[in-house]
Every structure is written in structure tokens, then in C-alpha cells.
């Protein structure tokens, strides 16, 4: 799924720490190319940085590295399963 509006405001975490992504009105089901993934991730990272400045949300470079590690790991597992 290509989510062109992936940002911090479209990510919810419930009381069980389950993550929900919302606001799919502009999303499309396509075969994602590397450039699509990079654009989504760049937009997401920018939104975290903006919210950090605006609202003091604690988000560090290490948080981003951890996120990318788990994102890459889950992507690799998905590719292996397919």
C-alpha cells in the first residue's frame, strides 16, 4: 500500500501498544518501488522532526534507527514469505 500522507498524525497507538495507521483516502494499492518507500519514509521522518519541535514529542535519532531496523526487518520477512 502506498500511503502518500504517512505522517505522525496518521499513526495511532492504543493502550495495548498496537499501532494503527489511518487516513488512507489518498492511498493506492500498487507494487511499491524503492522510490515510493523512500518518499513515504522521508515524509514520516520529517513529520516526527516537526512534531518534536512543535510539541516537544521525544523522538531521537536512535528512535529513528530503531524504527528503520524493525521496518527493514519486517519488509525482509514479508519478501521471504512471498
Catalytic residues: 5
- Classify burial at 6, counting beta carbons within 10 Å of its beta carbon; exposed 0-12, middle 13-18, buried 19 or more: buried
Nearest 5 degrees, angle CA 70-CA 74-CA 75? Answer: 115
Amino acid at each position: 500500500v502506498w500511503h502518500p500522507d504517512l505522517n505522525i498524525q496518521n499513526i495511532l497507538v492504543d493502550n495495548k501498544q498496537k499501532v494503527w495507521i489511518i487516513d488512507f483516502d489518498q492511498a493506492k494499492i500498487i507494487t511499491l518501488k524503492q522510490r515510493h518507500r523512500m518518499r513515504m519514509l522521508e515524509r514520516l521522518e520529517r513529520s516526527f522532526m516537526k512534531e518534536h519541535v512543535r510539541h516537544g514529542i521525544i523522538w531521537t535519532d536512535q528512535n529513528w534507527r530503531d524504527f528503520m531496523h524493525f521496518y527493514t526487518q519486517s519488509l525482509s520477512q514479508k519478501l521471504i514469505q512471498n
